[in-house]
Amino acid sequence: MTDITQLSSIIKDSSRLIFSDKIEARYLSDTLGRKKGLASALVFPTSTEEVSAVLRFAYENEIPVTPRGAGTNLVGSTVPHDGSIILDFSLMNKILEIDRENFTATVEPGVILEDFQKYVESLGLFYPPDPGEKRASIGGNISTNAGGMRAVKYGVTRDYVMGLEIVKADGTVITLGSKNRKDTTGLDLKDILIGSEGTLAVITKCLLRLVGKPEKSLSILAGFSSLKSGIEAVPKILKANLNPTAVEFIERKVVALGEKFLNLKFPLESEAYLLLTFDGKAEEIDSTFKNLQTVLKDSAEKIISLDDSELSQNVWRIRGCLVKAVEAVSEQEPLDIVVPIAKVADFVNFVNKLEGESGMQMISFGHAGDGNVHLCVVRGDRSEETWQKELGENLSKLYSYARELGGLISGEHGLGVSKRDFFFAETPKANVELMNAVKSAFDPKRILNSNISYVE
């Protein structure tokens, strides 16, 4: 049996190496803290060389390894298993380079998204990916291909990753991608890594694409008499070529949870809302607001411009806190189902119908502009046995209907351990076999996060 204390010869700073029973519980789970694993060691590396050495040790001794960013994951992707070595990247948090001429940034994986965005914006630059959890790490965003509010205009994390430095399971360091905007020189191995949830390799450097900071950004709140009328207005907005940065849908009952959680108030009373953002040149934004009013004149009850920065921030804070607001009231299962844009209304109607039939509260909101429906399935006062039974039944119905609509079980949270069974139930065997062949090419001994997602 391998003596795990041999890691002390690699990580000589004892404050950055913690063994088994001294590891805090928060490192053995995700942000929800319900699924817990076992770890033999917790390592805080500070360099690629240390990561390489730890992985080489783990590979030679066939010890599982669990990479970890800021721990904000919602589906158990950071839950260790079988006495894993946890690689926590919180100390690899440096912005290494801002290349203004090529509009790129090179950062370590532990850099926090919110901090990075503020820094580049202070330089007149812009990093568009904008998932709801702003305290997530860049490495974690890449590992789940995080999307978020601005995906409707700017795309998702994948669209801003130009290169990666990775360490394979056996400790081999490889650089993928470059600062070049075009590349057809062989397979795009970088793209295979994005969204792989730490199952293929460990990220140690990230080369990111930046754009110029928009001159103006304006948020607009539109109230509707029903969620159906609000969602049905989204195609009209998109067809009018108004090019919104974000289009979020929220029901009044959901907003009320956020208001109570933050002790804030929405500036508009309606049964449902679309929360939109537009950015660009100032004169373009002013014109776009007028055009939006014309497009929505027959469907929206009222449209207000959130010109006041504090008011705008508070409205977005309410939108951003919804999962936490639900969690403060009851245990819940957070979902991020994605369906074709034209099917969002159908899916939300199905959710509301299922809620009535099952008696299980289901709170839906999300990115109407790209079809990503976020859903909190609430436990309430159910016993553990009843909760697990009814949750499983309702998840099967939700995922099955999403599939009927041409949708998928995850848009941006990833699969983790939470969606493992549903993934295998809904994914063709040939697809799973191909994914596992890729896994074997990167990690023949299967030591990296092999308890999650597609790995059989």
Q: Using only C-alpha atoms, what is the Rg of the chain? A: 22
Residues 19 and 100 both lie in one domain: no
pLDDT value, residue 116: 98
Residues 300 and 285 both lie in one domain: yes
Residues 82 and 118 both lie in one domain: no
Residues 287 and 306 both lie in one domain: yes
Place of tokens 């848009």: 411
- pLDDT tens per residue across span 325-335: 988 889 999 99
* Domain assignment of residue 314, yes or no: yes
Residues 163 and 126 both lie in one domain: yes
Q: Which residue among 65, 88, 111 closes a domain?
A: 88
Structural domain containing residue 403: 330-415
Residues 99 and 198 both lie in one domain: yes
* Domain assignment of residue 19, yes or no: yes
pLDDT band at 452 (very low <50, low <70, confident <90, very high): confident
Residues 278 and 343 both lie in one domain: no
- pLDDT tens per residue across span 129-186: 999 889 999 999 999 999 999 999 999 999 999 999 999 999 999 999 999 999 999 9
At residue 84, what are phi and psi to the nearest 5 degrees? Answer: -60, 160
* Domain assignment of residue 362, yes or no: yes
At residue 116, what are phi and psi to the nearest 5 degrees? Answer: -65, -45
pLDDT value, residue 168: 98
Q: Which class for 436: exposed (0-12), middle (13-18), buried (19 or more C-beta within 10 A)?
A: middle
- pLDDT tens per residue across span 345-389: 899 999 999 999 999 999 989 999 899 999 999 999 999 999 999
- Flag whether pLDDT at 24 surpasses 90: yes
pLDDT band at 324 (very low <50, low <70, confident <90, very high): confident
Place of tokens 């770890």: 39
Residues 228 and 284 both lie in one domain: yes
Residues 42 and 65 sit within 8 Å (Cβ to Cβ)? no
The number of distinct structural domains making up the chain is 4
- Flag whether pLDDT at 1 surpasses 70: no
* Domain assignment of residue 183, yes or no: yes
Tokens of 75: 């589906």
Residues 126 and 29 both lie in one domain: no
CA dihedral 326, 328, 333, 337 (to 10 degrees): 40
Polymer length in residues for the chain: 456
pLDDT band at 342 (very low <50, low <70, confident <90, very high): confident
Residues 165 and 125 both lie in one domain: yes
Tell me the CATH number at 387.
3.30.70.2740
Q: Give the H or E element holding residue 89.
A: none
Residues 199 and 231 both lie in one domain: no
- Flag whether pLDDT at 253 surpasses 80: yes
Tell me the CATH number at 100.
3.30.465.10
Residues 365 and 231 sit within 8 Å (Cβ to Cβ)? no
* Domain assignment of residue 448, yes or no: no
Q: How far is 251 from 253, CA to CA, in rounded Å? A: 5
Tell me the CATH number at 84.
3.30.43.10
pLDDT band at 453 (very low <50, low <70, confident <90, very high): low
Q: Which residue among 185, 212, 239 closes a domain?
A: 212
Tell me the CATH number at 277.
3.30.70.2190
- Flag whether pLDDT at 420 surpasses 70: yes
Q: Which residue among 183, 212, 241 closes a domain?
A: 212
Residues 104 and 208 both lie in one domain: yes
